């Protein structure tokens, strides 16, 4: 990620280009074993003459038929040809001790020079050994993406190409600029680590990064080309510091090992944010990847996305080979809906929240005020580590965080008001006891929305099966607080409920796959759907909704079953011809095969869904893994297993695509704004494909850093007293 974006330029072979400039043209010489080679080659020539000739193949030039030259031996790095020797009997001198050896290419080779360096030359340094010689050492090996890194003993050798690939990977994964390789510190460190490695320039490493992007893209394409591999998509738009509009398209899918995967497919420019433009861009991206089995697309609530999804539905009727063919394609982002719901409740900010926000801003305004506040914390004997958090006005969840952190230091704010006149005379007034009581109610109320937002925003675990629980939890909470005697909370709950009804009020218009995901959770099945509807709705509405969910499940099951039968029928080859004797031999088992096939068809047509619903519910626990359960039971319920792979991979928020904009902002910052869109896409996508774990955000580690800082201060004080 340097100062200049580069197009995909083929990487030249540096060793070949240098050799072509320095070496003379090869002169053919007679071989001393010409007869033996000719006799050995007769069989090969005869085989070539008998081989069929492809007339459509292009004729090659004489240079194209020549065999490639063998790479130059490493011993020539320590020997120099003696120009004074007889050209018919060339010799070479050792650069270290001056010993002379015959070096004719056909008669002598380089074995004698290699033996001299390894055993006879006393001045030859040990660090310049044969690079092809393998050495036993401990190498870091990733055992598990979530368990960290282990080490194992293995034999390794120095490989320039492998080192360049690792260097390109480091540049991409760690978001380093291409010019990082030209730094003095990096070059000195590399020279100490491996003096034999020639450090490439930024143009070369840019080409290596592009080559790595193309290789990883081919691997990912092969995954999408596998049979029964469907994808769920999320998409969002973003504007960079270059004033360019970018569209991020992310694929979510469950692989053959029942592991949830997330891959950024495209991070490309787009002309504008109009619906038809977005739809056309997504269509081109999918066609370039060869993806023709799309289950769902999760978008936010912008009106342009409705137009884009309408365009894609019409286009997918021709090329979408998914069993449902986009019937339940659009999924609305739950995180955006929650944001709209809570913002309506907090629009008229309460006076107590404003006072606490001003108090927090006051103590965090300067280092002196922060130190004074820490002194008040010690005097109040508060054992809580860390300090208060600042909020972000555009994020409602920061309001919850600022109130939650401020309540922990309520006594410290009280002491500060008694001793600091500047704080006591703050504009708007300081928080009083009634303000802190109101804050406790607000925190209790907002905590539910905060927890739900964190759940639906996950991208490394299944969210579709848990969304219905959060959906019901929010609705019951709003109904409870609407009847509260606290007028402030009651008014806030009513405003949120009106916004809630705008998007989720008519449950009949909700994407039915949200409820199917709950049914496919063996801990809940249809029982949770029925029980929740009876708690939240009237009896007639609850019965209607329950029957609609069950009817949709059977209809989806029939679509998958028919699609599987048609696929098997089209891929089935014509049976081989059977002789009369073979027919008589199989006559007795023919009826048995018929009975087995009928039993299988009967089970597939009628009983697979019913058998699943009739089984007892699984016990819910912290260690329960729904994907592992389906991995074990997919052989028992094969068609339901295919449905589960699609439904459980469906994300209920667009946070996965929005998180890519954080990386995009770091890649396309003010200092690297000259990167071309093509280079930026290659860097961002490859980073997502190569990373084993998501990158940590510094904001999430503030408390840990403060704990570390406090520990270092205590350690230095102990050392100081010991020295005294």
Q: Write the pLDDT tens digit of every residue in 447-490.
A: 888 888 888 887 778 888 888 888 888 888 888 888 888 787 88
pLDDT score recorded for residue 601: 57
Using the 8-state DSSP alphabet, how is residue 80 labeled? Answer: E
Using the 8-state DSSP alphabet, how is residue 549 labeled? Answer: H
Residues contacting 41, CB < 8 A, separation 6+: none
SS3 labels along 256-312: CCCCEEEEEEEEEEECCCCHHHHHHHHHHHHHHHCCCCEEEEEECCCHHHHHHHHHH
> What length does the chain have?
724
Give the ranges where 572-654 is alpha helix by DSSP (H).
Answer: 580-585, 587-602, 608-614, 626-633, 638-647
Positive or negative CA dihedral for 349, 355, 358, 359?
negative
Q: How far apart are CA 554 and CA 195, in angstroms?
A: 67
Q: Write the pLDDT tens digit of every residue in 71-117.
A: 678 888 889 999 999 988 999 999 989 999 999 888 888 889 988 98
Closest CA to 254 of 457, 558, 464, 456: 464
pLDDT score recorded for residue 261: 92
Worst-scoring range by mean pLDDT, 6-15, 235-244, 569-578?
6-15
CB atoms within 10 A of CB 64: 8
Residues of the chain with pLDDT > 90, as a percent, come to 25
Please state the separation of Cα 320 from the chain's center in Å: 25
Positive or negative CA dihedral for 338, 342, 347, 352?
negative
**How many CA atoms does the CB half-sphere of 19 hold within 13 Å?**
11
pLDDT score recorded for residue 596: 58
Q: Which pLDDT band holds residue 69 (cuts at 50, 70, 90)?
A: low
Residue that wins the pLDDT comparison between 27 and 686: 686
Q: Which pLDDT band holds residue 58 (cuts at 50, 70, 90)?
A: very low
Q: How far apart are CA 311 and CA 328, in angstroms?
A: 14
Q: How far apart are CA 328 and CA 222, in angstroms?
A: 26
**How many CA atoms does the CB half-sphere of 641 hold within 13 Å?**
20
Q: How far apart are CA 654 and CA 213, in angstroms?
A: 24
Q: How far apart are CA 321 and CA 688, in angstroms?
A: 27
* pTM > 0.75: yes or no: no
Tokens 């009876």 found at: 534
Q: How far is CA 249 from CA 175, 298, 463, 665, 666, in A?
A: 20, 10, 19, 16, 18
Q: How far apart are CA 181 and CA 659, in angstroms?
A: 28
Q: How far apart are CA 172 and CA 101, in angstroms?
A: 47
Q: Write the pLDDT tens digit of every residue in 279-305.
A: 999 999 999 999 989 999 999 888 899
Torsion angle (degrees, nearest 10) of CA 580, 582, 585, 591: -90
Q: Write the pLDDT tens digit of every residue in 608-648.
A: 899 999 989 998 877 889 999 999 999 999 999 999 999 99
pLDDT score recorded for residue 344: 78
Decide: helix, strand or coil at residue 332. strand
Using the 8-state DSSP alphabet, how is residue 607 labeled? Answer: I
Residue 25 corresponds to which tokens in the numbers above? 């043209």
């Amino acid at each position: 990620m340097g100062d200049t974006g580069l197009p995909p330029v083929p990487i030249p072979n540096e060793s070949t280009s240098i050799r072509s400039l320095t070496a003379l043209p090869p002169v053919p010489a007679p071989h001393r074993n010409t007869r033996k080679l000719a006799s050995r080659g007769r069989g090969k020539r005869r085989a070539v003459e008998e081989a069929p000739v492809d007339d459509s193949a292009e004729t090659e030039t004489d240079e194209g038929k020549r065999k490639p030259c063998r790479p130059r031996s490493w011993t020539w790095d320590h020997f120099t040809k003696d120009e004074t020797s007889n050209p018919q009997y060339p010799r070479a001198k050792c650069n270290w001790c001056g010993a002379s050896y015959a070096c004719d290419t056909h008669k002598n080779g380089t074995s004698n020079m290699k033996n001299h360096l390894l055993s006879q030359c006393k001045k030859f340094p040990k660090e310049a050994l044969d690079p092809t010689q393998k050495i036993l050492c401990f190498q870091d090996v990733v055992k598990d993406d979530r368990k960290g890194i282990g080490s194992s003993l293995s034999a390794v050798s120095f490989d320039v190409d492998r080192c360049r690939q690792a260097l390109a990977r480091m540049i991409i994964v760690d978001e380093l600029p291409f010019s990082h390789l030209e730094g003095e510190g990096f070059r000195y460190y590399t020279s100490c680590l491996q003096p034999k490695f020639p450090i490439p320039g930024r143009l070369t490493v840019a080409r290596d990064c592009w080559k790595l992007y193309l290789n990883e893209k081919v691997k990912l394409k092969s995954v999408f080309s596998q049979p029964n591999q469907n994808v769920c998509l999320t998409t969002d738009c973003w504007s960079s510091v270059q004033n360019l509009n970018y569209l991020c398209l992310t694929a979510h899918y469950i692989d053959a090992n029942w592991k949830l995967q997330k891959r950024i497919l495209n991070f490309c420019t787009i002309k504008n944010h109009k619906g038809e433009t977005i739809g056309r861009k997504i269509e081109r991206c999918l066609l370039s990847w060869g993806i023709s089995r799309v289950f769902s697309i999760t978008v936010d609530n912008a009106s342009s996305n409705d137009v884009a999804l309408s365009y894609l539905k019409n286009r997918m009727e021709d090329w979408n080979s998914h069993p449902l063919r986009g019937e339940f394609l659009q999924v609305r982002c739950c995180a955006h809906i929650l944001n709209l719901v809570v913002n309506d409740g907090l629009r008229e900010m309460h006076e107590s929240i404003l006072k606490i926000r001003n108090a927090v801003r006051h103590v965090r305004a300067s280092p002196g005020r922060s130190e004074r506040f820490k002194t008040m914390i010690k005097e109040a004997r508060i054992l809580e580590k860390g300090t208060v958090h600042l909020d972000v006005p555009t994020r409602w969840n920061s309001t919850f965080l600022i109130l939650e952190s401020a309540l922990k230091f309520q006594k410290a704010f009280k002491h500060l008001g008694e001793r600091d006149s500047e704080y006591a005379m703050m504009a708007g007034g300081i928080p009083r006891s009634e303000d802190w009581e109101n804050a406790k109610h607000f925190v209790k109320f907002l905590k539910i929305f905060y927890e739900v937002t964190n759940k639906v925003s996950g991208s490394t675990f299944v969210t579709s099966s848990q969304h219905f629980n959060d959906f019901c939890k929010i609705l019951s909470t709003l109904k409870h607080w609407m009847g509260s005697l606290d007028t402030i909370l009651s008014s806030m709950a009513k405003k949120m409920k009106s916004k809630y009804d705008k998007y989720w009020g008519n449950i009949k218009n909700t994407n039915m796959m949200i409820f199917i995901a709950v049914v496919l959770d063996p801990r809940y099945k249809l029982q949770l759907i029925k029980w929740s509807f009876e708690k939240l709705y009237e009896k007639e509405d609850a019965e209607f909704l329950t029957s609609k969910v069950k009817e949709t499940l059977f209809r989806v099951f029939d679509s998958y079953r028919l699609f599987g039968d048609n696929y098997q029928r089209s891929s089935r080859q014509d049976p081989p011809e059977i002789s009369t004797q073979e027919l008589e031999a199989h006559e007795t088992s023919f009826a048995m095969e018929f009975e087995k096939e009928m039993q299988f068809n009967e089970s597939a047509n009628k009983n697979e869904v019913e058998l699943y619903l009739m089984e007892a519910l699984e016990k819910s626990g912290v260690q329960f893994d729904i994907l592992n359960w389906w991995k074990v039971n997919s052989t028992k319920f094969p068609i339901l297993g295919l449905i589960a792979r699609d439904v459980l991979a469906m994300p209920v928020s667009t946070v996965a695509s929005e998180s890519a904009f954080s990386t995009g902002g770091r890649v396309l910052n003010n200092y690297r704004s000259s990167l071309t869109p093509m280079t930026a896409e290659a860097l961002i996508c490859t980073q997502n494909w190569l990373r084993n774990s998501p990158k940590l955000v510094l904001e999430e580690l503030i408390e840990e850093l403060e704990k570390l800082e406090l520990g270092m201060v205590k350690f230095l004080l102990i050392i100081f007293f010991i020295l005294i």
